[in-house]
Amino acid sequence: MPPRKPRLQIVTAAVIERHGLFLLARRARSDHGPGGWEFPGGKVEPGEDPHTCLARELREELGITVRVGSLLSDHIHHYPSLTIRLLAFRTELLSGEPTPIYHQALAWVTLQDLLSYDLLPADRPVVHALLAAHRPS
Q: pTM (2 decimals)?
A: 0.90
Distance of CA 81 to the CA centre of its chain: 19
**What is the rounded CA–CA span in Å between residue 77 and residue 79?**
7
CA-CA-CA-CA torsion for 112, 114, 115, 117, nearest 10 degrees? 130
Q: Parse the chain into domains and list their residue ranges.
A: 7-134
Reply yes or no on whether the pLDDT at 5 is more than 90: no
Q: For residues 126 and 123, give the distance between their C-alpha atoms in angstroms, rounded to a whole number.
A: 5
Average pLDDT, the chain: 91
Classify domain 7-134 at the CATH superfamily level: Nucleoside Triphosphate Pyrophosphohydrolase (3.90.79.10)
Residue range 7-59, pLDDT digits in tens: 789 999 999 999 999 999 998 875 566 689 999 999 999 999 999 999 999 99
User: What proportion of the chain, given as a percentage, has pLDDT over 90?
Assistant: 80
